[in-house]
Amino acid sequence: MQALLSLEQAPPLSAPLRFFLTAPLFAILAGGLMLWSGPALFESRWSAQALAVTHLMTVGFMLQAMLGALQQLLPVVAGANIKRPLWIATVVHITITLGAVCLVAAFLTSQPLLFTTAAVLLCLGLFVFIVAAARALKGVPDTSPVIRGLRLALLGLGVTVSLGLLLALSLGGSFKVPLVSLTNIHLGWGFVGWGCALLGAFGLTVVPMFQQTPAYPEWFSRYYSRSTVAITLLWSVAELVAWELVASILSVGVVLMSAVFALSTLHLQRQSKRAKPDATGRLWQIAMLSTLLAGALWLVARVWPMVTQWQGWPLLFGVLVLFGGFMSVIIGMLYKIVPFLVWLHLHHQGRGRLIAPNMKKVLPQNRIDRQAMAHLLSVGLLVLAVFWPQWLAYPAGMGLVLANGWLLHNLLLAMRVYRDHLAKLNAIPVSEAVARH
């Protein structure tokens, strides 16, 4: 395992936790918007409702969860301590939350001022985070693939944010850009140059640690993140200068990078020491299979005109990537990270006075299993709704609301365990604590 954890460097619990608890709220809003829009949402990837749901999931759910994970893993895994972590977390959380809400409202109302406001808020929050993370990583020796991967993922985030700023300001009327081309590049960086690069770096630690697998192979650890960012960069340049053949070839490479991560992870999971995968392992498996299906769909659409002419294929691709892929991975990570953080902080505060509850007591496995099944059902309904929106748009929206309401409920239960145990600690008399110690 890379750079084994420096647990004493963990930031205050509330720093990452606020992001983790906010993420399901955006997914609930996405489900609510599906219920409000009905079948109209599935008419086109360019519909206002589809764009709003997409950004509820990317700028809302995904970004909140990933920034929360970075708040925790940068100091613990990479030894990169963010200065004033609570202040940074507060500023970043408030600005990206308000920015996400403004962006979604902008898509639904087409108000230029909302696009501009969203761009300013999101860029402010992410600029603060990127600068704080970069400063924390500056003094850390580049000795681990995890550290190199995190640096490259932050670069990918910076490019994604910059492209999003250009698009938002263009939609706000500030200037004109080639919307379709720049949107595709923005998606490429968001899903691969930032998302896959970050998951590749996280996976080096969290997959072997939490799923009891062997380490990723040396070639993956050494080359995956840098290859992902490099290919995405080359494709973006070719796309911008209209080198159509080169851009087409490199775009295949971008998609294949996500497939490399998926296949490598599935191969490791087959070698797990667990007798059978738990809910988290199954969520990762579903995520990797969804990623492979999305990549296969994209490749087929490139060569088969019948698929290209079907207006629903970009929507199906988005459902597989966002809900089947990233969302499944993130839920799996939350179910490991949050109970672990609760145990860790209670263990440190207990100091021998009272034994901290183990992770399975913080969040019982049966609760995780049931919510994971609800999530998988909602993904299945979303996939089918692309084909039969008149029948399944509303059940898919309701499934998303229920699954993520359940996720939020489970995370809040973990927080209740934390508060109850902390109250017991504080109730122990000083004399009794000294005697126990």
Q: CA quadruple 314, 316, 317, 319: dihedral positive or negative?
A: positive
pLDDT of residue 109: 94
pLDDT in tens, 325-376: 999 999 999 998 999 888 888 887 866 677 878 888 889 999 999 999 999 9
Give the CATH number of domain 7-436; options: 3.40.50.2300, 1.20.1560.10, 1.20.210.10, 3.40.640.10. 1.20.210.10
Q: Is the predicted pLDDT of residue 169 greater than 60, yes or no?
A: yes
Higher local confidence (pLDDT), 9 or 243: 243
pLDDT of residue 253: 92
Region of 310 on the Ramachandran plot (φ > 0 left; ψ -120 to 50 alpha; else beta):
beta
In which element (H, E) is residue 420 found?
A: helix 389-427
Name 43's Cβ contacts closer than 8 Å, sequence gap at least 6.
50, 311, 389
- Of how many residues is the chain composed? 437
Question: What are the Cα distances from residue 116, in Å, to 59, 159, 268?
Answer: 15, 18, 44
pLDDT of residue 8: 56
Name the range with the highest mean pLDDT among 5-19, 50-64, 141-155: 50-64
Tokens matching residue 101: 């809400």
Confidence of residue 113 (pLDDT cuts 50, 70, 90): very high
pLDDT of residue 408: 97
Confidence of residue 46 (pLDDT cuts 50, 70, 90): confident
Name the range with the highest mean pLDDT among 42-56, 142-156, 393-407: 393-407
pLDDT in tens, 180-211: 888 889 989 988 988 898 888 888 888 888 88
Confidence of residue 9 (pLDDT cuts 50, 70, 90): low
pLDDT in tens, 210-257: 888 999 999 998 899 899 999 999 999 999 888 889 998 999 999 999
Q: Is the predicted pLDDT of residue 289 greater than 90, yes or no?
A: yes
Percent of the chain with pLDDT over 70: 94
Q: What is the DSSP letter of 139?
A: T
Q: Is the predicted pLDDT of residue 434 greater than 50, yes or no?
A: no
pLDDT of residue 282: 92
3-state SS, one letter per residue, for 324-385: HHHHHHHHHHHHHHHHHHHHHHHHHHHCCCCCCCCHHHHCCHHHHHHHHHHHHHHHHHHHHH
Confidence of residue 52 (pLDDT cuts 50, 70, 90): very high
Higher local confidence (pLDDT), 180 or 430: 180
Confidence of residue 144 (pLDDT cuts 50, 70, 90): confident
The domain spans of the chain are 7-436
Q: Is the predicted pLDDT of residue 21 greater than 90, yes or no?
A: yes
* Amino acid letter, residue 308: T
210 vs 389: CA distance, rounded Å: 38
Q: What is the DSSP letter of 59?
A: I
Percent of the chain with pLDDT over 90: 55
19 vs 15: CA distance, rounded Å: 8
230 vs 240: CA distance, rounded Å: 16
409 vs 220: CA distance, rounded Å: 37
Confidence of residue 295 (pLDDT cuts 50, 70, 90): very high
Q: CA quadruple 400, 126, 223, 219: dihedral positive or negative?
A: negative
Tokens matching residue 274: 């667990």
Q: What is the mean pLDDT of the chain?
A: 88
| Least confident range of 56-65, 88-97, 132-141, 336-345 | 132-141
Q: Is the predicted pLDDT of residue 433 greater than 80, yes or no?
A: no
pLDDT of residue 2: 41
415 vs 410: CA distance, rounded Å: 9
pLDDT of residue 412: 96
Name 365's Cβ contacts closer than 8 Å, sequence gap at least 6.
278, 279
